[in-house]
Structure 1
Amino acid sequence: MVTLAFDVYGTLINTQGIQYTLAEMLHDEQQAAAISRRWREKQLEYSFRRGLMEQYQPFSVCTRQALSFALSEANVALSDDQCDQLLMAYRHLPAFPDAVSLLQQLSSMGVDAFGFTNGEAAIASELLANAGLIEDLKGIVSVDLLRTFKPAPRVYQHFLETADSSADNTWLISGNPFDILGARHAGWRTAWVNRTDAPFDPWGEAPDVTVPSLTDLAGKLGL
């Protein structure tokens, strides 16, 4: 039986769900959507930078600093309490609807499905529990113990050791192309969830499977 590693932020969990909390604060849905996107971009950028610099800070720190940047760039001033409210709301982001149905299906089939995340394990567990996904996952594997981030090669080896799996028997399912490329470099099989019909990075490599949603993934993987 294969082992499935599901990226959490952006694959199982809709990070853009935070824009609704922002919109309530700003009374401007368009601005809230733009800040939400920029927040996510800087969150990932900060994790990449820290990984390359070997100056680790937890993903929650990258998230807080990215929020500060996104608000400053947009010339939006929020109180400390409002920022804390946003960061707490980030632990209550919604699951993608297709994630709920797929994980339930995989659980009923006895497939080993894990959450695999740049976030700290405790925060990711809380997030997935709040989203109603935790019960259908065998476990959560976080990069926090290694003090670096995806797509560092040793992160993927850490998953294999934790899940007691092998590269040729493990699939990464992710909506993030950088994660797909990292897993392919580590010898894994990969499935890219391309919800926005975006082009893949032109690195001369492609995911083994590309799907527009998680709905038909089980069939695509031959499960």
Structure 2
Amino acid sequence: MSQKTVLAFDVYGTLIDTQGVLDALQQVMGDTAPAFSKLWREKQLEYSFRRGLMRDYVDFSVCTRHALDFACQALKQPLEEAVRNELMAVYKTLPAFPDALAGLEAAKAAGLTCYAFSNGSAAAVEGLLAHAGIRDFFAGVISVEVLQTFKPNPDVYQHLLNTAEVNAENAWLISGNPFDVLGALNHGMKTAWVKRSDEAIFDPWGPEPTIETSSIINLVNQYKQKYKK
């Protein structure tokens, strides 16, 4: 295995803002949009977890659509099929967080090898990153679809290490999702939790992220100060 340092960036909720669908939601349901968006995202993740445990894999987009349908029922938003399809299309062009581009530029300048690492399909992630203008910063896109399961299954993190040809001690998982950080810690990797809001709470399980940061730019600076030789 190579001794290079690899940064594996989660995509949804870390580089790409899943709340970028809010504008489209507000156009169809007004003030209900924030609660709807939050529930949609929570159910999307829950459904992927449940599918993984059941060993009943479907593409992440299917989890997203089922979560959308659930939110419509739970919040009594009987959206027509055409509107639901339009909202799913928005998910393919979600925006990057404001710090993503500058943070990835800083990582490149520091000589770090970066991968995109996602529960989404490779095609969906490639499209998102290209639309956001950040695809060229990655040595590759690593998707769980090859294994047909989801994070935080340990096999997924090993697949990342095998694909990137790096040992766990030289690999970092960068994520805004605590479940993802805990999954990587459990597999012996270093981690950085990007705390995307002041209200975000890291699960009190005991293990803590190697670095906690408010942005990808700060993460790269923290890494260089503590670990770059």
Q: Is the pair's TM-score, using the shorter chain for normalization, greater than 0.5? A: yes
The equivalent position to 1:199 in structure 2, one of 198, 201, 204, is 201
| Contact map agreement 2:175 2:192 (CA 8 A) in 1 | yes
Amino acid at match of 1:67: L
Aligned residues: 221
Task: Write out the 4+ residue segments of structure 1 that deviate beyond 4 Å after TM superposition.
Answer: none
Equivalent residue, structure 2, for 1:23? 26
Identity among equivalent positions (%) equals 50
Letter of the 1:201 counterpart: D
Q: 2:51 is paired with a residue of what secondary structure?
A: helix
Give the distance between the partners of 1:110 and 1:126, measured in 2 at CA: 25
- Residue type matched to 1:171 in 2? W
Please name the residue that 1:2 is paired with. 5
Deviation of 1:77 after TM superposition, in Å, equals 1.3
Task: Give the letter aligned to residue 221 of structure 1.
Answer: Y
Aligned AA for 2:91?
A: Y
Q: Give the partner amino acid of 1:168.
A: E
The answer to whether the aligner puts 1:77 opposite 2:117 as a matched pair is: no
Question: How far did residue 109 of structure 1 move?
Answer: 3.4
Whether 1:92 aligns to 2:96 is: no
1:141 and 2:152 matched: no
2:170 equivalent in structure 1: 169
3-state SS, counterpart of residue 68 of structure 2: helix
Q: Quote the residue 2:112 is aligned against.
A: 111
Note if contact 2:11-2:116 (Cα within 8 Å) is conserved in structure 1: yes
Q: RMSD in angstroms over aligned alpha carbons? A: 1.0
* Residue type of the alignment partner of 2:201: P
TM-score norm. by structure 1 comes to: 0.96
Residue identity in the other structure for 2:145:
D
Give the SS at the match of 2:114. strand
Asked if structure 1 preserves the Cα contact closer than 8 Å seen for 2:116 and 2:138, the reply is yes
For structure 2, list consecutive stretches of 5 or more residues without a partner in the other structure.
Answer: none
* Alpha-carbon offset, residue 100 of structure 1: 1.0
**CA–CA separation in structure 2 for the residues paired with 1:145 and 1:215:** 31
1:200 Cα deviation after fit = 1.4
